[in-house]
Amino acid sequence: MIIINEVIKMDKIINLFLEEHNLCISKIQDDTKILDKIIKILINARDKKKKIYVMGNGGSGSTASHLVSDLLKTAITRGDKRFSAISLVDNMPVILAWANDSNFNNIFSEQIKNHISKGDVLIGFSGSGKSQNILNAFNIGKKSGSICIGITGMGGGKFPKICDVCFTVPSNDMLMIESIHLTLCHCIVSSIRQKGKPLFTYD
Band (1; pLDDT cuts 50, 70, 90): very low
Residue 7: pLDDT above 80?
no
Closest CA to 167 of 45, 1, 33: 33
Q: Identify which has the larger pLDDT, 30 or 44.
A: 44
CATH of domain 32-194: 3.40.50.10490
Residues with Cβ within 8 Å of 128's Cβ and at least 6 positions away in sequence, in order, are 152, 153, 154, 157, 174
- The pLDDT mean for the chain works out to 95
Q: Enumerate the domain spans of the chain.
A: 1-30, 32-194
